[in-house]
Amino acid sequence: MMKSVLIAVVSAVQAYLLGSIDTGILVSKFLYHDDVRKYGSGAAGMTNMLRTFGKKAAALTAFGDVLKGVLAVCIGRWLFTLMPESTTLSPYLAVYLAAIFAIIGHLKPLYFGFKGGKGVLVAGGTILAIQPVLIPFLAVIFLACLLPTGMVSLGSVTMAALYPVLTILYGVFRGYSAADLTVCAIGSVIMGAMVIYMHRSNIQRIREGKEYRFGRHGKK
């Protein structure tokens, strides 16, 4: 029992520490000698990097954020292979535990004063490592919101809200056991809820008709 708990704790810690490596902050500091969190939305994500420093900065940020999500889940999955053979824990607990803590690390990075990004891309990286088959569906949802409105935030929030639905449908389609389906459902709901919560100010601006729209206004 103690070994299982220790492995779970190590998995969560490694994911949080990886998530805390905030690519946007590092890119803005080392390439542009500035802090992206001082501009625009105050977040260190790809959208604010694009608006503040341009396409190269945004691309580097996107790559780094997705990569750390993938790595956190892969390391968490490997750590759970070290569990005692007698363990009855769902293997999906490993990946969702790592995914959730990687997102927490991104939102509240240990190395940068606990002020990071909004978690969309790192969440995307974890999903890519957990259930890559869902990525095309999430991409379609995102584009269906972005293209007519120009609002990245709307696409992000909609994806986050529908991710648990897609996860549950996929689990049912694949015939997951009740235990595995429960873990996937709870894990995906937590992930989606965190992303939506971090976009609460965007949601308010959408309601007020004040949200930034790409291609509709100049840079702020």
Which pLDDT band, with edges at 50, 70 and 90, does 83 fall under?
Answer: confident
Which pLDDT band, with edges at 50, 70 and 90, does 219 fall under?
Answer: very low
Q: How far is CA 163 from CA 80, 158, 186, in A?
A: 24, 8, 11
In a domain, 50, yes or no: yes
pLDDT, average across residues 149-159: 94
Q: Note the pLDDT tens digit of each residue in 20-58.
A: 999 999 999 999 999 998 998 788 888 889 989 999 999
In a domain, 19, yes or no: yes
How many structural domains are present in the chain?
1
Q: Note the pLDDT tens digit of each residue in 168-214.
A: 999 999 999 999 999 999 999 999 999 999 999 999 999 999 898 87
In a domain, 214, yes or no: no
In a domain, 217, yes or no: no
In the chain, the percentage of residues whose pLDDT exceeds 90 is 75
Give the DSSP letter string of the chain.
Answer: -HHHHHHHHHHHHHHHHHHTS-HHHHHHHHHHSS-GGGSTTS--SHHHHHHHH-HHHHHHHHHHHHHHHHHHHHHHHHHHTTS-TT----HHHHHHHHHHHHHHHHHS-GGGTT----SHHHHHHHHHHH-GGGHHHHHHHHHHHHHHH--HHHHHHHHHHHHHHHHHHHHHHHT--HHHHHHHHHHHHHHHHHHHHHTHHHHHHHHHT----TTTS---
Q: What is the pTM of this model?
A: 0.90
Which pLDDT band, with edges at 50, 70 and 90, does 220 fall under?
Answer: very low
pLDDT at 125: 97
Structural domain including 111 reads 2-208
In a domain, 213, yes or no: no
Report d(CA 136, CA 121) in Å as an integer: 14
pLDDT at 188: 98
